[in-house]
Amino acid sequence: MSQSPSHRNHLRHILPKRIILVRHGESQGNLDTDAYATTPDHKIQLTPVGIEQARQCGSRLHSLISTNGTSSNYRLYFYVSPYDRTRSTLREIGRSFSRKRIIGVREECRIREQDFGNFQVRERMKLIKETREKFGRFFYRFPEGESAADVFDRVSSFLESLWRDIDFNRLHIDSNEDLNLIIVSHGLTSRVFLMKWFKWTVEQFELLNNFGNCEARVMQLGAGGEYSLAINHTDEEMLEWGLSPEMIADQKWRAHANKGEWNESCAWYLDAFFDKTTDSDDDAKENEAEYFDAHSV
């Protein structure tokens, strides 16, 4: 039986309660960068410590999702990078949840690690990374690889697909259940995801610190319909991540803002791009006249 238009429209407005970003556990590459010289990046495995980190991460997520004001009918949907270390992290996280809680899993190539090139020689990569620090982490493109800006483009494409999945209820969200989307990915990719979602600038991205292995960032839906990091994370945590006081204030505003509202005090939405703006059209014309008078030959 087909659903009525009114029922379909109702489903389109159901949003996940949480979107949780998780970095993979400690890998052989984190332990010894020489591993990249003989093993393709996507084949790098978790260490025993990384496996234990992933299990503990699953336990923490279970505690958060099952006890923190969540419906007893909560469900989970996972997106995972195709790399071995992220899939292994997902497998260990999954041990903390019963099968009935998991709606599904999708391997998503667009949330893979930044491409650093193919096999990586330590001495060469050391010089390349030193150059990146001088050039800037966002725009520097690794030889035969990607820049963070390239990652931004594919993460943007993934977000469009994610919203379509939500909008058309392809994740089978039930209004009586709290859905938690868990994205198991990589450090830079997750930072780029947050940058895109919260409209952070390149300058703000450059100040962000990487996730620790199996660290999570919890974006939770506020009462007004906006997602915020401030609901589950403290000011101290967000400062450690590299968020400025202004960025933290915006997260706190989002925790209570109505969806679609504009944060007037958010400088990087407007004021940061201009030397000075005026309060009226007449003032703007006066400033323009003064400028041309001062710069006329």
The residues assigned a catalytic role are 24, 113
Residues in the chain, how many? 297
Q: Determine the distance from the C-alpha atom of residue 117 to the mean position of all C-alpha atoms in its chain, rounded to a whole number.
A: 23
Please name which of 232, 213, 228 lies closest in space to residue 22, comparing C-alpha atoms.
213
CA distance 248 to 254: 10
Q: How buried is 61 (Cβ within 10 angstroms: 0-12 exposed, 13-18 middle, 19+ buried)?
A: buried
Q: What are phi and psi of 20, to 5 degrees?
A: -115, 125
Task: Calculate ∠ Cα 248-249-254, nearest 5°.
Answer: 95
Q: Output DSSP code: residue 139.
A: T
CA distance 271 to 263: 12
CB contact at 8 A, 193 and 21 = yes
Going by DSSP bridges, is the β-strand pair 75-80/102-107 parallel, antiparallel, or unpaired?
Answer: parallel
